[in-house]
Every structure is written in C-alpha cells, then in structure tokens.
Chain A
C-alpha cells in the first residue's frame, strides 16, 4: 500500500516537472488536482478547528468542549453571533442584499486592524530600533571587528575607484576592473594594518557602526518627504548600497532554499526508482 501511495506522489512529481519542457496535460492535471485537494483539505481543517467547536457544537449540540450549555444562555448567544455573521458573508450571492455582508466584513477588518496595531508597533518598530541601538565601543572580539572594518574599507575603496575608473576609462575597460581589484586589495590590507594598531588601544565595533549606518541609510532612502540632496542624499546613497547587498543575500538565500527542495524531490524520485527495482528484482 505504501508503494502505491509513493508511486502516486512520484507520478505527480514527474507531472509537475514536465512543465519544464512546456505546458502539457499532465501538468494541468496535477495543477488542478492540487487546487481541489488543498481547498478540500483546508475546508475540513477550518471547519473542525473553528466552525464546529465555536458555532456548530454550542448552537446545535448545546455543548462547548464536552460541557453542556443551556439553550438561549449567554454562551449560546455568544456562539450564535459569529455563526450569523459568517452567514451574512454569503449575502454577496444575492445582489439585492449583498451589502449586508459588509457588517461581518467591517467587524473582521476592524478587529484584525486593531489587533495588529500595537504588536506591529512593538515588534516591527520599537524592538527593531531597540535592537539597533548598539554600543560602538567595548567589543568582545576585536579581531572580528578589525576584519569587518578592513573588508568594509576595501569594499568602499573599490566602489570609489570604480566610480573614478568608470569616469576616466569607461566602465567596460578591463583596466578599470583590474584596477578595482588591486586598489581594493591594497586598501583592505592598509585598513587591516591601521586597525591592528588601533586594536591595542581598544577598538570600536565596526559591525555595530555598520548596522547603525545601514539602518539610517535604508530609512533615509525610503524617506520621501524631502529631496534626496546633501546629507540625506548621501545617506540615501549608502542606503541603496545596503539594500542591494540585502536583496542579493535574500536572493541567494531563496535560491538555495529552492535548490534544497529540488534535491529533496529528486531524492524522493531516486528512492521510488529503487523501490521499483526492489519489487521487480532488478
């Protein structure tokens, strides 16, 4: 029986991969099947998690969590209300009374808007600002800070040189590209040496400085109430640099997660082939 289910899963997997060739009936079959199956799955889950215990059971079976409740009691009415509101949503199928559905929608939209307001303020704004209010001194690992600073100096130097090289030689000139590499390596090494000297007197945390500058730059880039000129323009420019690195990192991370899934699916197909060979004694 397990083999039959595995075979179904494998054939559906192959059907989906057939889309790599072109759109075809096998892919469409699997696509429509998953739409129906997942709709049915979530419908059952939502019903047994919310509608049955919160509405059906108290209103019709007169019990909540196995405890009996009285017909017309406070708890009965409290269970009836969401049921009635839920039914109102279906008024949209009758154009003349479709507006009644807005009552339920108003409660839903307003309730969740209010529910999210304070936690969003707490988690997405205050906590992020608190996490970024970092000390720039007293680093526990000066070696790591120096490495970071040397790398950063090298990267910034490379960026500056790239700009200069582009202006003087043209961006496509191979000399400009080689120059970027050479200058960045030299500047990184220089930064390393300078920091080695500073470290003996106690260094600042470059990581923390970069986090603060990166956050300020990113926020400046998204601040559209003033023209991006002067200090704000400079900060916004730094913000773009951080954003691009962040987007690149996110992209790389996403690609690797998808590749990981791909490896998992291919491994599943290889196992399936192994099972077939085992059955037929190949």
Chain B
C-alpha cells in the first residue's frame, strides 16, 4: 500500500489537477497551479543535486579503489568543487566578470562548442559511408541534403542562384509537411504516454522491487 499505491495515487491526483487546471480560468486554480509548478521545479533542482551526489560517489570510488584513470576523476571533482566554491562563496557570482562566470565562459563554453563542432567531422564521415544512392529513398535524402547544404553557403548562390531558392522550397514545403506529420505523431504519442502515466498503466518510473 505505502510502497506502490500511494505513489500511484499521488501521480494520479497531481496529474489530473495539472490537466484540468488548464481548462479552469479562475485565480484560485491559477494560484494552486503556480504553487504546484514551483514544487515541481524545486523537485527538479533536488533531483539534479541527487545526480551530482551520484557523480561525486562514482569518482570518489574510482579514486578510493585506485582505478587506472583516477587522475581524471580528480580533474572532474576539482572542476566541480571549484565551480561550487566560486558559486556559493562569491557574493556576486552571477555578475559578468566574476570568477564563476569567467570559468563558465572560458572553460565550459569553449569545450562544449568545440565538442559540437567536432561532430561536423564525424557527421561528414558517417554521411560518406551511409549516403549511397542505392535506392530511390536514399537518393532523395542525398539530393535534399546536398541542396540544403549548398543553399546555405555563399558558394551555392555562386554556382546557381536557383540553389538557395530550391533550399528554401525544400525547407518550407516537403520538409515542413513531413515535420508536421512527425510532430503530430510525436504529440499523439506524448499524450498517450502522459495518460498512461497518470492513470497508472505505465509504471516504469517506479522502478523494480516492492
């Protein structure tokens, strides 16, 4: 009862309330919705803290067990502790020019941007291997990709002025039509899954055990 029925009941009550509040334009309901939303956001923050605790545990165990790559665990923990110290102990950590924001702008942003840009190489190499015009569908995909890539750089316009126009047409007509179809399908899937969760049909979030 306490272990499975109460969580399911809480899930149902909060799910139904958050669903119906959308259709009740009354300030009392709006206030309640705002408060519950604040609770959910706070829970998200606690969940993030939980994830950070797990990260610390993982690297701590690696260091304690003298794993081969424990040096990198030191690096990860040092980065974490440094950011926490700069954020929690610096009085105005969120101001531009503070050590906290300088660390963010000069360590986190460059590494993340470079990692994403690194994908340009791998995506090109994957495309080279995967994009063979063996079937009609593959040919369409290849042609559409080539036109869009050419149409979004100046060289496309230099080759032929119709290429940027073709790119725009591809993005605004066949691409939009298929994206709308996918979006509607995803939307219906999300609604079905949400209903299954609220009604207690989908219970994977409770995990295994009693």
Contacts and interface: CB of A to CB of B under 8 A. Distances in A.
Contact of A108 (B44, B94, B111, B116): B44
Interface string A62-76: 000000000000000
Contacts of B8: 106
Interface stretch (A6-14, A196-204, A274-282): A6-14
Contact of B84 (A43, A99, A114): A43
Given A40-B84, A105-B7, A252-B145, A162 B46 contact: no
Contact of A34 (B4, B52, B112, B140): B112
Interface residues of B, number: 130
A128 B175 contact: no
A34 B111 contact: yes
A92 B41 CA distance: 20
Contact of B111 (A12, A148, A242, A255): A12
Contacts of A249: 144-145, 148, 170-171, 174-175
In this complex, the interface size class of chain A, counting residues with CB under 8 Å from chain B, is 35 or more
Interface of A: 5-6, 8-10, 12-13, 16-17, 19-20, 28-51, 54-55, 78, 81-83, 85-87, 89-90, 92-93, 98-99, 102-121, 123-125, 128-129, 131-132, 148, 151, 159, 162-163, 171, 207, 210-215, 217-219, 221-222, 239-256, 258-259, 261-262, 264-265, 268
The 4 A-B residue pairs whose C-beta atoms are closest, nearest first, are: A214-B177, A218-B181, A40-B83, A36-B79
Interface of B: 2-4, 6-19, 22-23, 35-53, 55, 69, 72-73, 75-84, 87-88, 93-94, 100, 102-121, 123-124, 127, 134, 136-149, 152-153, 166, 169-188, 190-191, 193-195, 197-198, 205-207, 209-210
